[in-house]
Amino acid sequence: MERRPTGPNRTTGLLLGDRTGHDDRLRRFAAIWSRALHPTAETSLTRAEFENQLLPLAATLRDALHARVFDPRPATGVGTALVRAQCTDPEVLPLVLGVIDAYLVLYCPPGPAVSPEESRARCARLQHAVAAGFARALHEHTVAEQQAAARLARAEAEQALRSSEARFRAVFEGAAVGVGIADVDGRIMDVNDALIRMFGGLEQEVTGRNVGELVHPDDGPGIWGLYRELVRGDRDYYRVEKPYYRGDGSVLWTDMSVALLRDAAGRPQYQLALMEDITERRMLHERLRYEATHDVLTGLPNRALFFERLDRALESGAEDARFGLCYLDIDGFKAVNDSLGHAVGDRLLVAVADRLRSCVCGPGELVARLGGDEFVALTAGPAADTDAAALARRMLAALSGPVTVDGRDLAVRASIGIVTGAAGESGAAEVLRSADITMYRAKAAGGNRYETADADSDARAIARHSLTNRLPAAFDNGEFFIEYQPLVRLDDGTVRGAEALVRWLHPVHGVLGPDQFIPLAESTGLIVPLGRWVLEQAARQARAWGGTGDGRAPLRVNVNLSPSQLRCPTLVADTVAVLDDAGLDPSALCLEVTENALIGADEEELHTLRRLADLGVDIALDDFGTGYSNLSYLRRLPVSTLKLDRSFTRGMQQAPADPVDVKIVEGIVSLAHTLDLSVTVEGVETGTQAEHLRSLGCDTAQGWYYARPGPPERLHTLSLADVAS
């Protein structure tokens, strides 16, 4: 391999180049942002100057997206800074969020440490934070503009009451904000035209009423306590946001300042209210809040709102506070997208969301869409454990009927994982991980059901995930090794060969057997390179053993072949290359394929095995008898050996042998020999068992009676030790 130059100059160049690349991508993102916002910004800056003003804000978003521990709060300051940069038109915000959504991850990707799904989730939460900061800053900006006018109106109104009614009326009637005067008993005495217009245009709807009648269900906590303190003279001023009903039933939201006017002796005499109509701003805020916290496709609460509610449930300080979470995934949804298209898939998701929404029946319950075909339901309260199970049953029942999309009835099945617990015991990430693990356990059990989380299952799943992540590095670091278990001829007790069994020397867990990592290697695709490595090592070892020296066939090595390897198009070529490289005769190699793998094999896979058999490689049918054995199927398989599963011979470990097992084995041996197949028996553990199998005509055997798997130099060291003793 060509060695690249090293040294300070090259290292510095790489670092500078990498930083320059990041800065260029950030600059392109800021340029796109500037083109979108500059036409609507109330600024005298040129677009280039405006772009430079946006550049540090873009860097803030990028740094938050890239952070090892994600925190969306810095993005709130970005929304605030945009308002300070004169982006005060409410229509600016959709442009801001649109650019972030479309281009932030594209131009400033966080790298391989953060998955694409997590990158998009982070981007969504950053948009939420930007929207929150923008709305708050826009509100403060508007309030600041109005406060000066409000202070002037209050001061002039107060002076007018004390000195000149004519002068007061001029200010009172000409004020741009709504002004109302009431006595300390709460009776509204006078209102100006601006306030009348705010309430719908009829003076009698307001004048003469008592302030205490103007209660609204959405009044903030403590509003009326502040009012009572003011009319008692305990405070001179308060300011709140308060809703009112108009005459037509619609809601008027006001930013209201109330001041106490005293007489010359300092006694409370009047209360003066200045009101600004903030209904549109409030509606904008609510719309932005809704868009930031709800899924665009289904209208359900989204991931951001769900985590807000989950955090609130987990942080509850109530002594009996409990929570229940249902994590739902649609079974087979990918097949709908792949076969019918994503448009149909989206409409199916909308229909599923509508049905799940109907399952919420209490104020403490919430159904949200996390993304894709994943939904979550949350319930909180002392009875959350039973409520969560009931909620899961309602969800499954709601999805039991077919969903009609474009005139086509689609059956919907779902798997649900339930996690329950007491508030304060776990964090949101831990709860969601446990629910996800439990959901996959329900899916593995056949789907269309729910399972409840338990710590042991979570621990096993986490351990499997840890091993799966470690596998590639383990292969690169040479942590795998091979042990060999002798195959013994039953007629004379001599060694016929050995089965190669791969082991993993894990740096933490020690030696792991193939049953602990081979399924993981299958699922990740590592089984193909790992299987080739085992084949190479076993072939070289068989060549090193050489012949038996007794005129019989050379010692043979058995190597297991996984279903993924069987489907690999280069299997034959790889096997030939390994044999040639090791200088091993094909007859000294036996490839073991499980019965279950061959039952579902298509003609192409069988053709691969036939080509190997034509080369002289033996093919063994492993675990024979554990699948749906079709004995007539043996005639078309290119196998030379049946490896009988140990479950058929356990009844022979002691005398007298189980007569049923004897009859079964006797029949299989007779059939195999009729088809010119040899029979190998696994799991031989006692001398009595070995003698029974020899008398029934079995050809070879392996098991702890002869030897446990070990290093290659111990191939001929047979213990002949009964496990039973």
Q: State the Cα torsion 300-306-308-309 to the nearest 10°.
A: 100
Q: Report residue 709's pLDDT band, with 50, 70 and 90 as the boundaries.
A: very high
Q: Please name which of 655, 656, 657, 677 lies closest in space to residue 668, comparing C-alpha atoms.
A: 677
* Cβ atoms of 483 and 514 closer than 8 Å: no
213 vs 702 pLDDT, higher one: 702
d(CA 487, CA 707): 9
Task: Say how many C-beta atoms besides its own lie within 10 A of residue 135's C-beta.
Answer: 23
pLDDT above 70: residue 203: no
Task: Say how many C-beta atoms besides its own lie within 10 A of residue 513's C-beta.
Answer: 13
202 vs 255 pLDDT, higher one: 255
d(CA 657, CA 665): 12
Q: Report residue 724's pLDDT band, with 50, 70 and 90 as the boundaries.
A: low
Q: What is the mean pLDDT of residues 23-35?
A: 88
End-to-end Cα distance, the chain: 57
* Cβ atoms of 492 and 550 closer than 8 Å: no
pLDDT above 90: residue 503: yes
* Cβ atoms of 698 and 679 closer than 8 Å: yes
d(CA 352, CA 357): 9
325 vs 601 pLDDT, higher one: 325
Phi, psi for residue 638 in degrees, rounded to 5: -85, 50
Find which of 5-9, 465-469, 614-618 is predicted with most confidence, using mean pLDDT: 614-618
d(CA 631, CA 671): 8
- Residue 590 forms beta bridges with which residues? 558, 618
pLDDT at position 160, please?
Answer: 53
pLDDT above 50: residue 14: no
pLDDT above 50: residue 62: yes
Q: Report residue 205's pLDDT band, with 50, 70 and 90 as the boundaries.
A: low
| Portion of the chain with pLDDT greater than 90, in percent | 34
pLDDT at position 459, please?
Answer: 67
d(CA 374, CA 382): 26
Report pLDDT digits (tens) over 343-356.
999 999 999 999 99
Least confident interval from 16-25, 156-165, 453-462, 529-538: 156-165
Residue 287, judged by CB atoms within 10 A of its CB (0-12, 13-18, 19+), counts as middle
Report pLDDT digits (tens) over 522-549.
888 888 999 999 999 999 999 998 865 4
pLDDT at position 328, please?
Answer: 95
pLDDT at position 301, please?
Answer: 93
Angle formed at CA 511 by CA 510 and CA 514, multiple of 5 degrees:
140
d(CA 156, CA 150): 10
Task: Give the number of residues written for the chain.
Answer: 725
Residue 155: which region, alpha, beta or left (left: phi > 0; alpha: psi -120 to 50)?
alpha
pLDDT above 90: residue 211: no
pLDDT above 50: residue 5: no
Q: Please name which of 682, 684, 683, 644 lies closest in space to residue 665, comparing C-alpha atoms.
A: 644
Q: What is the mean pLDDT of residues 85-107?
A: 83
Q: Please name which of 340, 324, 342 lies closest in space to residue 395, comparing C-alpha atoms.
A: 324
Task: Say how many C-beta atoms besides its own lie within 10 A of residue 550's C-beta.
Answer: 8
Torsion sign (Cα): 222, 228, 234, 237: positive
Q: Please name which of 359, 369, 370, 402 lies closest in space to residue 298, comparing C-alpha atoms.
A: 369
Q: What is the mean pLDDT of residues 403-413?
A: 90
Q: Report residue 377's pLDDT band, with 50, 70 and 90 as the boundaries.
A: very high
Report pLDDT digits (tens) over 280-326.
888 888 888 888 889 999 999 999 999 999 998 888 777 778 999 99
Tokens found for residue 294: 């709800």
**Which CA distances in Å does 397 have to 117, 328, 635?**
30, 13, 48
pLDDT above 90: residue 361: no
Query: 């003469």: which residue's tokens?
Result: 208
Query: 């030939």: which residue's tokens?
Result: 576
